[in-house]
Structure 1
């Protein structure tokens, strides 16, 4: 999680630097030097705006990934399905709604629950 936060912060600092370069480009001034003291390439304002938009989309994606990762921390995604649900219920639901069983159960569970695969779609527990 901290690596993701660091990447987001790096992208935000890059965005701020590009905004400064964009304002200087609009005024007709050359860009400032980068962190190492080297001169930056003199890009047009359109190219800088495009780069800023790309970085903004990357930041949004990373923020969304961070939120999803945070939300899923407390959820054990497969445990309940394996331990608490009767596989015949799941198989009947899949057949009723025409969902491939392979989307619900992985290969090892399909082999483990072969006895439940021949249940009819109207099965009720």
Structure 2
């Protein structure tokens, strides 16, 4: 399934490399073994979410209505829901989080007024 992420970067130099570095620790293992910290197996900048915010969007121009499934700011990763492996209840493995997907309130609460959001289409 495809998901929409917004990734915070300080500048627009080498966007591909910056996003790759930020996303790398969360790539699923090649051997398929489960690790709850790893949640993607493929991604592309923009992708099917191109019309959501464009590439990239300045923090100042981020719309109040902007939502995403995953928001990455430094080492802070927010998901609207997380996968928790449970052999006893495999159909109840996804759990909603308290975050509603709204980007602007998080940026404001972190005091971020400079930088950019890069739209990422990822698969898990």
If the length of structure 1 is used for normalisation, what is the TM-score?
0.18
Higher helix share: 1
If the length of structure 2 is used for normalisation, what is the TM-score?
0.19
| Structure showing greater Rg | 1
- Larger relative contact order (CA 8 Å, sep ≥ 6): 2
